[in-house]
A and B are shown apart, each in its own frame.
Chain A
Amino acid sequence: MPFKNVKKDTADALTLEWLLHVKHYKLTLDKKRCVGCQICSLACPKDAIKLEKQLKAQGEKAKKAKVDIDLAKCNFCGVCDVSCPYGAIKLTLNDGHDLLLLQKESYPELVRDIKVDTKQCPKDCDECEDSCPLDLITVTRVGFDGKPVESVAALPPSQQKRVQINLAIQKEYCPTCRVCEFKCAPGVIKVRKFTEGKIAIDQAKCPGGCRDCLDVCPITGALYLSVADNKVYVNELFCVYCGACKAVCPVDEALTLKRTKIIHTPVRSGAWNKALQRLASPVDAVKELKAAGSRKAKEQVSRRFSMEEKIR
């Protein structure tokens, strides 16, 4: 069969496909997981991804921005897959999710540093499971006989100690918002955010009564409505700096968002440098480069990375 490229847009997913006689590339955007943030559109090295603001009807909640991928520009490289904080995009080759991009160490992976110590878990506590705004945590308890335990407290005390508590986190979809960590009183979960940055709302510019940012924010508690002035405020503790709010904010500069650092696996890659420039800023990209390597490595990079010169 001749080469075919196909794009399908349904309510649940946006799929792009390259059908070759022996290879089948498929890029799927899970619309349920997508929050309409800016990350993929900024990271895409081919400029193939665009965000479209969705009109909202009077009196309705704001809709998250819609992600559209240009089939003609997409090269099925997988950078969006790797970059998505919510794991909403998946690239497969012949139905396998083994990215050449990562195999060849051409692009880093986000470091989702989540440590769990279930030994300290209190009896029958489901706090983390309930708190996760994205429903990524499942708590299960297994008794000594391997059977699931409904309630630890109901067991005889001798058996209570032998109950094993499992805390499964679907890491690939986790944006590391730390909500679970804070909801967990004994400190069982330790989360390190992979994105550092700064978010602020200029209250002078923010139109009162507009809650668009709050409507689209996927992290409960990252933004909140002040009872005092009916305006939206930021709680940086939970913000993952994804920019879903910025994508829908109706007033320029009312909401400022800056990413300063992204924690990733140690990979040297021009594609990553370029992505970082756009995700954070050229200055931050240079900072990372300076910190990362020896002088020789830096020279090598600067040869290809002329932006550094300009910034200095």
Chain B
Amino acid sequence: MSQPENVKKPEELRIGVFVCHCGLNIAGTVDIKQIVEYAKTIPDVVFVKENRYTCADPGQEEIRKAIREQKLNRVVVAACSPRMHEPTFRRTVTEAGLNPFLFEMANIREFASWCHPSNPQAATERAKDAVRMAVAKARLLMPLQTIEVPVTNKALIVGGGIAGMNAALDLAEMGFQVYMLENTQSIGGHMAALDKTFPTLDCSICIEGPKMVDCGRHPNIKIFANADLVRVDGYIGNFKVKIRQNPRYVIPDRCTGCGECKDVCPIEYPNEWDMNLGTRKAISVPFDQAVPLIYAVNKDYCIECFKCVDVCGARQAIDFEQKPEEVEIEVGAIIVSTGFDVYLPYDMPLLGYGKYPNVITSMEFERLILAAGPTGGKVIRQSDGKKPHTVAFIQCVGSRDKNKYPYCSNFCCMYTLKHVVQLKEKYKEDVEVYVFYMDIRSPGKGYEEFYDRARERGVNFIRGRVSRIDEDPKTHNLVVHSEDQTLGQPIEIEADMVVLATAAIPKKGSDEIARILNLSRGADGFFMESHPKLKPLDAPTDGVFYAGACQGLKDIPASVAQGSGAAARAATVISKPKWKIEPIISVIDESRCRNVTAKCGICVDKCPYGAIKAEPNKAAQVITASCHGCGTCVAECPQDAITQMHFTDAQILAQIRAALEKDPEDKILAILCNWCSYAGADLAGTSRFEYPPSVRAIRVMCSGRVDRDFILEAFRLGAGMVLVGACHLPYDCHYISGNYKMKARTDALKGMLTKLGMSPERFRVEYVSAAEGIHYAEVITEIDADMKALGKEKIKAENAKLRPIIENMLKRKK
């Protein structure tokens, strides 16, 4: 059990305990008098006071007064949940000159009076124990200083699509320096490749182009196009970013964007930006409106005839010797707006994509109908260059498909509606249009009206999943086989052209970005936000925010809104000169760290945030500002060289010992994580779900903090049952993966204890979300029943058998 030895014990402990009635909320069940009398008997407690409402001004004033007059150096408030009023009372003690971390709360409302209303005696006993546990922890509390780090007032936007551009412009307008990183040759993203936008049918590049130009011209924005993100070091407010500027073989400052080089170039290659429907020259820009308007040579295709060099002449903008360049920048916040990719259904052979020339994707259709596209806006078939007279649109290709991408791609219904309206308005009666759909999803502003518009144009909507497409090898016409759910029978439609609305999928390279920035990705592959409801723009890594489709598919208005939102979130960081960090972080005792003598690095692997570094033959080091204070490393360290401030081993063990002081065999010791299971237990209280009062709960920030030794110590002391409460797997953990680390650890421990003769039901891991108050109550009821079923004698016998082994294990640790 580690405890930094350099911590001086204060001269004399003077603990004050304040017991709150909370009107009748506590006092109505718990016997406050008994609690007060009991508190007075606890060693080191020098002052006890009861209040009707401790959180109200007079109650707070009593605390301040007592600190001053009684010279209190620790304060315990026995009242509601710390999740409710801990910040309040921390402020109170600070106002009286006491360090806020010398304050501790005993939860006797949610965890006593509210959940055991029919058993006041037991509730009172539980409250007494809660006070004793809080005092036990309070004795070992240490003053901590809030950590402040300086902030670089600049931001980096990774990905220059419509979301990233909006974020960049907003931040630049606020006066911050913004760097934009774009891995293609131009910003603009998918939107720049679109013809029209739904539901207004306004021209996409006409509305996006000016924004792209604004980004290019803004004095506060610097664009790194054709560049990759190589490395990101540092932490919130202080990121050091390494960017690789890939060579264009054209010197940006000298290129005037005149395009003379393109005209003399003899080489053409498929233009990826055109979905490879058309070509571009070996020296070119992907599209005329590109920003920055700098030409680039594609050396994969260039034959180095140097015609471009000749025509560029005195401008000397072309440099075939250019090498990749690494640039280092410093920023305070990072916005990830890497967008999405379009799924190409080569692996769905029944649809014939890639096999039949007249089966295309919606994005390809977009390039065909676009006036500036490779066909000049003519929708023509590849097989014969003729205009199709019957076009079938097929929805949900890859999307909402359990075998491919189970999610809905969000915008396909709407863009298909746009395509059919465009087709109908362009070719009128000359074209017959069918749409095969599962559901038409049009929940946006003006979207349902747009659906009406499509129906009014005489488009045939057929509800049904397409099973396969066949081709007539002579005419290259296609036969679409589907079910018509409305008629309840199979249907066949012959079409000249088939357009597949394919799924939008996570951007290629997302895993690389996730690795570099330490982000996590959901089952669908999109980036996971810090909290799906309340922090939808925040990445789990502090100082990193999301904008646009990289976090989940969204259409243009939503991406624009999220871009602005992310800019505002980033500004909350970079607008400050300093950033404050809660000091409940991990600290490494260098003298104990095994990495000095051997290759260890366990903490480095287990840290969900990459906040620990271990260089060979040196003690591991915590990057203070990156540490989120989950305590997973503390529990994992084989040498007990790491301590989590405010949740030290000694403090938690003291709580365990205090909890199991009397009749341990009748008690359930619960260690609950702050964000889910403790909150769930609180909810059980607020919801007045009654459950057996045998449980004694300890709060840790994350279940990842639960050290093996805590459980062993509990059983050594004779605990009847032990429960570890965590956030649900796989994604609920507020520290990315602390619950997984805990699971691995406790699974092994449980196996061992069971082998040693312990009944398996005596040690349980349960996943309780903050919304599952009822589940918590059920779990405790179950455990209590198990405990009663096992019987005190059996538990005692098991414990007697276990104790020498556990003692041996804990001794060896020391």
Contact = CB atoms under 8 A, between A and B. Distances in A.
Chain A complexes with chain B: yes
B108 to A, nearest CB: 68
B579 to A, nearest CB: 48
A21 B364 contact: yes
B354 A75 contact: no
B49 to A, nearest CB: 78
Contacts of B354: 1-2, 4
Interface string B302-338: 0111110110000000001000000000000000000
A75 B360 contact: no
A89 to B, nearest CB: 15
Contact of B266 (A1, A22, A100): A100
Contacts of A79: 303
Interface stretch (B163-171, B238-246, B270-278, B445-453): B270-278
A75 B305 contact: no
Interface in A1-31: 1-4, 18-23
A75 B278 contact: no
A278 to B, nearest CB: 13
A274 interface: yes
B305 A272 contact: yes
Nearest to B367: A21
A71 to B, nearest CB: 13
A293 to B, nearest CB: 12
A1 B307 contact: no
Contacts of A18: 270
A290 B358 CA distance: 54
A234 interface: no
B275 A2 contact: yes
B358 A1 contact: yes
Contact of A106 (B307, B359, B375): B307
Q: Which of A1, A22, A76, A101 has the most CB of B within 10 A?
A: A1
B266 A75 contact: no
A21 B274 CA distance: 10
Interface residues of A, number: 32
Contacts of B385: 22
B66 interface: no
Task: Decide if the interface of chain A is mainly helix, strand, loop or mixed.
Answer: loop
Contact of A22 (B277, B300, B306, B360): B277
A243 interface: no
A268 B304 CA distance: 12
Nearest to B272: A3
A304 B344 contact: no
A20 B279 contact: yes
A58 interface: no
Nearest to A267: B305
Contacts of A274: 304
Contact of A20 (B276, B310, B353, B368): B276
Contacts of B359: 1
B31 interface: no
B264 A20 contact: no
Interface string B254-272: 0000000000111111100
A161 interface: no
A26 to B, nearest CB: 14
Interface string A48-88: 00000000000000000000000000011101000000000
Given A1-B360, A271-B303, A271-B305, A22 B374 contact: yes
Given A3-B270, A104-B264, A107-B266, A23 B303 contact: no
A300 B314 CA distance: 11
Given A20-B279, A21-B277, A22-B277, A1 B382 contact: yes
Interface string A98-139: 011101111100000000000000000000000000000000
B305 A107 contact: yes
Nearest to B270: A3
B319 to A, nearest CB: 10
A103 B304 contact: no
A268 to B, nearest CB: 7
Contacts of B309: 270, 304
Contact of A75 (B264, B267, B275, B358): B267
A23 B382 contact: no
A45 interface: yes
B303 A75 contact: yes
Given A46-B303, A270-B306, A2 B360 contact: yes
B364 A103 contact: no
B644 interface: no
A269 interface: yes
A103 B361 contact: no
B242 to A, nearest CB: 31
B610 interface: no
Interface residues of B, number: 39
A79 B303 CA distance: 9
A22 B361 contact: no
B268 A100 contact: yes
A65 B359 CA distance: 41
B382 A21 contact: yes
B279 A23 contact: yes
Contacts of B360: 1-2, 21
B525 interface: no
Given A21-B278, A270-B306, A271-B304, A101 B266 contact: yes
B303 A2 contact: no
Given A104-B264, A270-B305, A75 B382 contact: no
A100 B364 CA distance: 26
Interface in B385-409: 385
A104 B310 contact: no
A106 B266 contact: yes
Q: Which of B278, B320, B344, B361 has the most CB of A within 10 A?
A: B278
B270 to A, nearest CB: 5
B361 A2 contact: yes
Contacts of A75: 267, 269, 282, 300-301, 303
B252 interface: no
B307 A104 contact: yes
A100 B268 CA distance: 9
Nearest to B385: A22
Contacts of A23: 268, 278-279
A18 B271 CA distance: 12
Interface string B273-291: 0011111001000000000
Nearest to B356: A1
Q: Which of B265, B282, B304, B353 has the most CB of A within 10 A?
A: B304
A203 to B, nearest CB: 40
B376 to A, nearest CB: 9
Nearest to A269: B305
Contacts of B277: 3, 20-22
Contacts of B356: 1
Interface in B38-57: none
A70 to B, nearest CB: 13
B344 A104 contact: no
A79 B320 CA distance: 20
A276 to B, nearest CB: 13
A104 B278 contact: no
B709 to A, nearest CB: 59
Contacts of B265: 104, 106
A107 to B, nearest CB: 6
B265 to A, nearest CB: 7
Interface of A: 1-4, 18-23, 45-46, 75-77, 79, 99-101, 103-107, 268-272, 274, 300, 304
17 contacts: A1-B360, A1-B364, A1-B382, A2-B360, A20-B277, A20-B279, A21-B277, A22-B380, A45-B303, A77-B266, A77-B267, A104-B307, A268-B310, A269-B306, A269-B307, A270-B306, A274-B304
Given A100-B268, A270-B304, A272-B305, 5 more contacts: A2-B275, A22-B374, A101-B266, A106-B307, A271-B306
6 shortest interchain CB distances as A-B pairs: A3-B276, A270-B306, A106-B305, A21-B277, A271-B305, A106-B266
Interface of B: 264-270, 275-279, 282, 300-301, 303-307, 309-310, 320, 344, 353-354, 356-361, 364, 368, 374-375, 380, 382, 385
